[in-house]
């Protein structure tokens, strides 16, 4: 019986933690990680402040947990669907298409979570900065690796500068996100998709196989 009660309390704690983080990622995508506080989340979710403090211990740990929760959501929507595809331009296009959909469909209400919090923490130091920078850097690495894999299977020209191409693709993705959030204008996603498709055609070994847009 004692084990059953302990398991039940643990599950309630885990569920409460998930509820808090679901709310936290939405707030942070709009107001930034500094917009989070244990007291605010307790009030908005009708929880005791002491109970929320027991789960996270500090604002910094809440912020770090929020970044980790956002990473899981990003992987689910952007990265995971592309993993099932074979290496090549199809996987690269899928990653870019997924990213645009993730931003346009407002998986996070403030657009891309990492674009928002990167601007907030780019000039700071500390654990939260490192977590944000790590997540952003890992996305660049993934795009670059996906390009290199497409080169290895012969779908991208062998003399392509993978790091430069990754930079250009991410720049188009992030510009679409920034413009849509700032101006509430969603035509930028089509422009980004067209630009990305054109850039990929320029490095493809067989450009005729690529569409005019993603």
Q: Does 214 fall in a domain?
A: no
Q: Does 183 fall in a domain?
A: yes
**Three-state DSSP class for residue 44:** helix
Q: Does 115 fall in a domain?
A: yes
Q: Does 91 fall in a domain?
A: yes
**Bridge partners, residue 156, by sequence:** 204
Please give the distance of CA 119 from its chain centroid, rounded to a whole number.
14
Q: Does 125 fall in a domain?
A: yes
Predicted TM-score of the model (pTM): 0.91
Burial code of 48-87, b = ≥16 C-beta within 10 A, e = fewer?
Answer: eeeebbebbeebeebbbbbbebbbebbeebbbebbeeeeb
Q: What is the pLDDT along the chain (214 residues), one digit of tens a residue?
A: 555 556 666 677 788 999 999 999 999 999 999 999 999 999 999 998 888 888 998 999 999 999 999 999 999 999 999 999 999 999 999 999 999 999 999 999 999 999 999 999 999 999 999 999 999 999 999 999 999 999 999 999 999 999 999 999 999 999 999 999 999 999 999 999 999 999 999 999 999 888 888 8
Residue 109's domain comprises: 2-209
CATH of residue 181's domain is 1.10.357.10
Domain count, the chain: 1
The three-point CA angle 205-210-214 to 5° equals 135
């Amino acid at each position: 019986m004692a084990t059953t009660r302990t398991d039940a309390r643990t599950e309630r704690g885990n569920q409460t933690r998930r509820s808090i983080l679901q709310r936290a990622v939405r707030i942070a995508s709009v107001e930034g990680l500094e917009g989070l506080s244990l007291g605010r989340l307790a009030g908005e979710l009708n929880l005791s402040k002491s109970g929320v403090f027991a789960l996270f211990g500090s604002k910094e740990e809440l912020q770090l947990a929020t970044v980790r929760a956002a990473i899981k959501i990003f992987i689910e929507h952007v990265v995971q669907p592309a993993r099932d595809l074979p290496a090549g331009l199809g996987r690269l296009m899928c990653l870019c298409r997924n990213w645009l959909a993730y931003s346009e469909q407002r998986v996070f209400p403030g657009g891309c979570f990492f674009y928002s919090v990167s601007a907030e923490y780019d000039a700071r130091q500390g654990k939260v900065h490192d977590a944000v920078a790590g997540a952003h850097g890992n996305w660049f690495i993934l795009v670059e690796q996906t390009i290199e894999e497409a080169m290895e299977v012969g779908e991208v020209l062998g003399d392509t500068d993978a790091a430069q191409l990754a930079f250009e693709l991410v720049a188009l993705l992030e510009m679409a996100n920034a413009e849509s959030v700032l101006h509430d204008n969603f035509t930028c996603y089509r422009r980004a998709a067209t630009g990305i498709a054109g850039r990929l055609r320029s490095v493809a070994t067989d450009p005729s196989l690529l569409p005019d847009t993603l």
